[in-house]
């Protein structure tokens, strides 16, 4: 396949060089071949180079998880207990108590409360993964009705990357779950 592509590029370069030679009245091809090859090289590498530069810019931006971790560090006292989904934020385990879950909805709010969890951190990677009719989405919607949201960290084009993160407060009073 690579040989076929190389042959196609060679034939295209020859055709374009011939046309350019006629237009420039350059029968020896001293100018035509280098100009065509330079044009083909630019055309060949333009898209991958652009995408590489875009990716490098995006990957150096701060992410919502880091931003949320700094926000949490500045607002919550040491010893605060968080229930955290894996796709969210990395907190200092020496400063905070952390209960890690693959999905926060795997346990009931009353179970978190009984374990002393004060706040839950959820990610749009999980709560927006499926359509509104899916059971997982419906369970997250129930969670959002039970636990008040105290903060949300959304990605911003060109400034902040990552999923949307929500920090929810586990209500102190028992909540009836359906």
Please give the structure tokens belonging to residue 143. 């969670």
89-143, pLDDT tens digit by residue? 999 999 999 999 999 999 999 999 999 999 999 999 988 889 888 999 999 999 9
pTM of model > 0.85: no
Contact at 8 Å (CB) between 39 and 13? no
């Amino acid at each position: 396949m690579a040989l076929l592509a190389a042959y196609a590029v060679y034939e295209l370069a020859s055709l374009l060089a011939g046309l350019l030679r006629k237009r420039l009245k350059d029968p020896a091809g001293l100018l035509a071949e280098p100009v065509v090859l330079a044009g083909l090289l630019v055309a060949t590498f333009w898209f991958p180079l652009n995408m590489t530069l875009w990716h490098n810019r995006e990957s150096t931006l701060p992410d919502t998880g880091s931003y949320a971790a700094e926000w949490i560090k500045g607002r919550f006292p040491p010893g605060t207990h968080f229930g955290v989904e894996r796709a969210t934020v990395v907190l200092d385990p020496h400063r905070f108590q952390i209960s890690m879950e693959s999905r926060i909805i795997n346990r009931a709010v009353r179970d978190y409360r009984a374990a002393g969890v004060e706040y839950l951190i959820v990610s749009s990677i999980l709560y927006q993964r499926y359509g509104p009719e899916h059971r997982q989405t419906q369970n997250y919607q129930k969670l959002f009705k039970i636990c008040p949201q105290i903060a949300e960290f959304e990605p911003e084009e060109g400034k902040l990357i990552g999923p949307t993160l929500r920090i929810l407060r586990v209500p102190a009073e028992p909540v009836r779950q359906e």
